[in-house]
Amino acid sequence: MKNKLVIIALLYINCLCAQERQLISENNDLSLFETYISLNSEGNIFPTIYGEGLIYASNYKSNDYKLLYSDLKSESQKIKIGSKYNLGAAAIFKNEIYFTGITKKLSTSGTNNFTIYRGIIEDFKVKKIKRLPVCNLDFSYTYPTISKDGSKMLVVTNEKEHLHLLEFIRNTNNQWEKGEVIYISHPEFEIINPTFYNENTIYFASNIYDGEVTGVVYTMDNEGINQITELIKEQGSFNIYKIEKNTNNGHWGIPIKVDQFNSDFDDLGVIFINKNSGYLNSFRYSDADNIYYFELK
């Protein structure tokens, strides 16, 4: 009887592992697998690694997004975070958690903007929540992500009128202060879900589109000759991009589309476990956002 129980237990564990590693897509660059999350729910967006599992946002069976934790083997559990959480992924370093919420105080123009809150996470409950003072009430700050050593944070902000990636640096007093601007987007395009790959490489998703030209704008010069001054392109789906720092001069380059992570559908973000594997947030299956595991070849 004891041996039968052991066999049953092993079969159960193998079933869970099979669920987590069910191959659904493969090409010369990448293998994509289902996760327990994608097999059992939908409406799940960009995750962050926490312990042996993931914390992610989801509106599954709900009108609003909430934060959940999954060990990738069993039913997800809700993160108790209160009403300050509003949207997007959370960033976690040790027991610190950073997330996007709405400011309680009004800006000088009388509006409530998005801002970044910091809390302490213990037993899936977030406590001691406070707004980061480095976030100006007159602008919005969203999609925080933190470096592996906890020394840097990236946010998406509209401080310079256009959306851009802004770096925060942790000082010796354990406070965040502004660093450099990494990338400024065209005003028609969004930036979502940035993540550090390493200190010189950042991934993010954007609806930047480099596809077919659908129209042109002409302007007549002083000699009466029409010249093309603007190309109009159809706005496409979200894709994964990376931006790299030139280690010789310290300057960040331009965003490059990372083809192996993209499809004809919205691809909303990528996070790495190591240099060869991680999780991809995509709309490409089941007509809904979800979280998949990938391995690079």
**What is the domain range of residue 243?**
2-210+236-296
Whether 27 is in a domain gets the answer: yes
Q: Looking at residue 164, what is its pLDDT?
A: 93
d(CA 296, CA 278): 9
| pLDDT score of 7 more than 90 | no
Domain assignment present for 159: yes
CATH code where residue 281 lies = 2.115.10
Q: Tokens standing for 172?
A: 């010796």
78 pLDDT more than 90: yes
Bigger pLDDT: 211 or 37? 37
Q: In 39-77, which positions are buried (b, 16+ CB within 10 angstroms) versus exposed (e)?
A: eebbebbbbbebeebbbbbbbbeeeebbbbbbebbeebe
Q: Sign of the C-alpha dihedral, residues 253, 254, 255, 259?
A: negative
- Asked whether residue 202 is assigned to any structural domain, the reply reads yes
Give the helix/strand (H/E) hosting 232: strand 226-233
For residue 81, being part of any structural domain is answered with yes
C-alpha to C-alpha distance for 195 and 147, rounded to whole angstroms = 8
The answer as to whether 222 is a domain residue is no
Average pLDDT, the chain: 87
Number of domains, the chain: 1
pLDDT tens track for 107-137: 998 999 999 999 999 999 999 999 999 999 9
When pLDDT is averaged across residues 172-176 and rounded to a whole number, the result is 96
Residue 61 lies in a domain: yes
Average pLDDT over residues 82-89: 90
For residue 231, tell me if it sits in a domain: no
Give the model confidence (pLDDT) of 186-229 as tens digits: 777 889 999 999 999 999 999 876 555 556 666 766 665 555 56
What is the DSSP secondary structure assignment for residue 112, as one 8-state letter? P
The predicted model scores a pTM of 0.84
Query: Which position has the higher pLDDT, 37 or 229?
Result: 37
Q: Which pLDDT band holds residue 56 (cuts at 50, 70, 90)? A: very high
Q: What is the mean pLDDT of residues 37-51?
A: 95
Residue 52 lies inside a defined structural domain of this protein:
yes
What's the pLDDT score for residue 248? 87
